[in-house]
Amino acid sequence: MSARPPWKKRESRLLNLADRLVRAGGADETEAVFIEGRSYLTRFCRNTVHQNVGTEDAAAIIRVAAGNRVGVATAGSLAPDALAAAQGDALAVARASEPVDDWPGLPPPLPVEPLDECDDAYNEYTGEPDPEWRAEIACDIFRAARSVGGEAAGAVHVEESTVAVVSSTGVAVAASNTRAQVHTVVTCADGSGYAEGQSTRLAELSGRGIGRRAAEKAAAARNPRALPPGRYDVILEPPAVGEWLEYLSYIAFSGKAFQEGRSPFCGRLGQRVTGEAVTIWDDARHPHAIPQPFDYEGMPASRLTLIDRGVAKAVATGYYRARRLGHERSTGHALPASTGYECLPMHLFMRGGTESLARLVADTQRGLLITRFHYTNILDPMKTVLTGMTRDGTFLVENGEVIGPVKNLRYTENALEALGRIDGLSRRVVLTRSNCVVPAVRLRGVQFTGATEF
């Protein structure tokens, strides 16, 4: 009989530790979220590794209720004295807090189905990475950068994490996952190019491929020309699309923002909010994301459609917010009680189309091919107006061909409205660093409000 995997032993240990804390009592209700993991980072610049570090971290988020008064405290250690202090602090906060008149209590337990295959979420070779493996990925990127006379900067990052949630209402769940992430910017004279990759498996990320994409963009981006601000059709590559979706999650998809009247979905559920080409959903169990079978209240994760063919369908909730909205169950999107965002979809997907990226370019009369955005900020959340810069590979397209690089531009755009002007999506979808699985998209008439000198 094979030995239990190390991460399964860690899950059992955290569940037992959290159960002891919850049983210690002191409050009417107690919830303990324990997180433990390891992280390994190899940073590089100028085609040289300059940092190789590893950390081990643990944290506890303890939420208690004394009647309808709620308190939360955290600990940066799972040592008994740290946990006891945090539990005492949470109870003190609860007793000193104003009552929550509509406090529904902590959620009762619901069945959490395990992921179909543990390797969907946890890959042992990523959880126990050889540092030479990370270095070899970096060296493959260096070789690609040198092939165009360029220099690479970036990082190879791997981590493993275990989350356990236990409460006095009977919730007791734990799960583990791994994450590998590689990103690089290659500079070549006055040109720069960006590429990235993310997966639960480090072996799926090719330093050679990521380095080649960034190097080719950097070489092609030399000697950029200036373009005046104005409206341009654009082809957004997946990193740019993923960044917009990540911001939409905070702006539009939060049940807390919706219930408080701060979401552009307010009064518009069941109505068209963007173009028919747009379908967006959240699926924390999907193997193409970084899967997790439950949220930070221990509620089961399931697919939640947020926008269906342009129509607003739902917002994400935790248990408290669901009950305030008149729902019996949460959608399984609670964040740790220590964060003010409360509930967000964190595993977003956008439906792709039927075309290749090359075809999206070939069918563009005049426009911009944009690799990614930088310094994105929210200007008007109710109108989903974002502003930011293009970065590391922006090119002019004319008559279906990329004719050359352009200097970076600042955009100011209503994201939902702009997505309503989609007229092409790539067949291939990609998991981005923002944890969104998205296609490349072509949009008509994106507003650029400023130019740069680089």
Residue 308 binned pLDDT confidence (cut-offs 50, 70, 90)? very high
Tell me: do 181 and 234 sit in the same domain: no
389/377 Cα distance (integer angstroms):
10
Tell me: do 173 and 275 sit in the same domain: no
Last residue of a domain, one of 176, 208, 240: 208
The distance between the two most distant Cα atoms of the chain, rounded to a whole number of Å, is 71
Residue 402 in any domain: the answer is yes
Measured in degrees and rounded to the nearest 5, phi and psi for residue 444 equal: -95, 140
Position 119 scores a pLDDT of 52
Position 25 scores a pLDDT of 82
Tell me: do 169 and 244 sit in the same domain: no
Q: What is the mean pLDDT of residues 14-18?
A: 98
Tell me: do 27 and 152 sit in the same domain: yes
Position 3 scores a pLDDT of 66
Residue 117 binned pLDDT confidence (cut-offs 50, 70, 90)? low
10 Å CB burial of residue 121 (0-12, 13-18, 19+) is: buried
Reply yes or no on whether the pLDDT at 372 is more than 50: yes
Tell me: do 160 and 233 sit in the same domain: no
Reply yes or no on whether the pLDDT at 2 is more than 80: no
- With vertex at residue 344, the alpha carbon angle to CA 342 and CA 350, rounded to the nearest 5 degrees, is 175
Reply yes or no on whether the pLDDT at 129 is more than 90: no
Position 125 scores a pLDDT of 84
Tell me: do 135 and 177 sit in the same domain: yes
Residue 404 in any domain: the answer is yes
Measured in degrees and rounded to the nearest 5, phi and psi for residue 119 equal: -70, -15
Residue 326 in any domain: the answer is no
Residue 314 binned pLDDT confidence (cut-offs 50, 70, 90)? very high
Q: Which two tokens stand for residue 315?
A: 């917002």
32/171 Cα distance (integer angstroms):
10
The enclosing domain of 156 has a CATH number of: 3.30.2290.10
Residue 113 in any domain: the answer is yes
Tell me: do 66 and 159 sit in the same domain: yes
Tell me: do 137 and 285 sit in the same domain: no
Q: What is the mean pLDDT of residues 288-307?
A: 96
Mean per-residue pLDDT over the chain, rounded = 96
How many structural domains is the chain composed of?
2
Tell me: do 283 and 143 sit in the same domain: no
**How many alpha carbons fall within 13 Å on the CB side of residue 394?**
28
Residue 334 in any domain: the answer is no
Check if the beta carbon of residue 207 is closer than 8 Å to that of residue 381: no
Residue 116 binned pLDDT confidence (cut-offs 50, 70, 90)? low
Residue type present at position 259: Q
Find the Cα–Cα–Cα–Cα dihedral 63, 65, 66, 70, rounded to 10°: 80
Position 115 scores a pLDDT of 84
**Percent of the chain at pLDDT exceeding 70:** 98
Residue 371 CA: distances (Å) to CA of 29, 89, 221, 239, 399 = 49, 47, 11, 7, 19
Last residue of a domain, one of 208, 233, 261: 208
Q: What is the mean pLDDT of residues 356-379?
A: 97
300/53 Cα distance (integer angstroms):
34
Residue 1 binned pLDDT confidence (cut-offs 50, 70, 90)? very low
Tell me: do 270 and 396 sit in the same domain: yes
Q: Which two tokens stand for residue 201?
A: 């498996």
What domain range is 179 assigned to?
A: 6-208
Burial track 407-421 (b if 16+ CB lie within 10 A, e otherwise): bbbbbbbbbbbbbbb
Q: What is the mean pLDDT of residues 357-362?
A: 98
- With vertex at residue 308, the alpha carbon angle to CA 307 and CA 311, rounded to the nearest 5 degrees, is 70
3-class secondary structure for the chain?
A: CCCCCHHHHHHHHHHHHHHHHHHCCCCCEEEEEEEEEEEEEEEEECCEEEEEEEEEEEEEEEEEEECCEEEEEEECCCCHHHHHHHHHHHHHHHHHCCCCCCCCCCCCCCCCCCCCCHHHHCCHHHHCCCHHHHHHHHHHHHHHHHHCCCEEEEEEEEEEEEEEEEECCCCEEEEEEEEEEEEEEEEECCEEEEEEEEECCHHHCCHHHHHHHHHHHHHHCCCCECCCCEEEEEEECHHHHHHHHHHHHHHCCEHHHHHCCCCCCCCCCCCECCCCCCCEEECCCCCCCCCCCECCCCCECCCEEEEECCEECCCECCHHHHHHCCCCCCCCCECCCCCCCCECCCCEEECCCCECHHHHHHCCCEEEEEEEEEEEEEEEHHHCEEEEEEEEEEEEEECCEEEEEECCEEEEEEHHHHHCCEEEEECCCEECCCCEEECCEEEEEEEEEEECCC
Q: Which of 278, 325, 169 is nearest to 316 (CA)?
A: 325
Q: Which two tokens stand for residue 397?
A: 């397209």
**Percent of the chain at pLDDT exceeding 90:** 93
Check if the beta carbon of residue 347 is closer than 8 Å to that of residue 286: yes
Residue type present at position 202: L
227/313 Cα distance (integer angstroms):
39
Position 6 scores a pLDDT of 84
Check if the beta carbon of residue 75 is closer than 8 Å to that of residue 59: yes
Q: What is the pTM of this model?
A: 0.96
Reply yes or no on whether the pLDDT at 449 is more than 80: yes
The interaxial angle of helices 80-96 and 6-23, nearest 10 deg, is 50
Tell me: do 51 and 145 sit in the same domain: yes
Last residue of a domain, one of 180, 208, 236: 208
Reply yes or no on whether the pLDDT at 81 is more than 60: yes
244/236 Cα distance (integer angstroms):
10
Reply yes or no on whether the pLDDT at 118 is more than 60: no
Q: What is the mean pLDDT of residues 62-88?
A: 97
Residue 176 in any domain: the answer is yes
Residue 107 in any domain: the answer is yes
Among positive and negative, which fits the CA dihedral 62, 162, 155, 351?
Answer: negative
Q: What is the mean pLDDT of residues 376-392?
A: 97
Residue 275 in any domain: the answer is yes
Tell me: do 38 and 151 sit in the same domain: yes
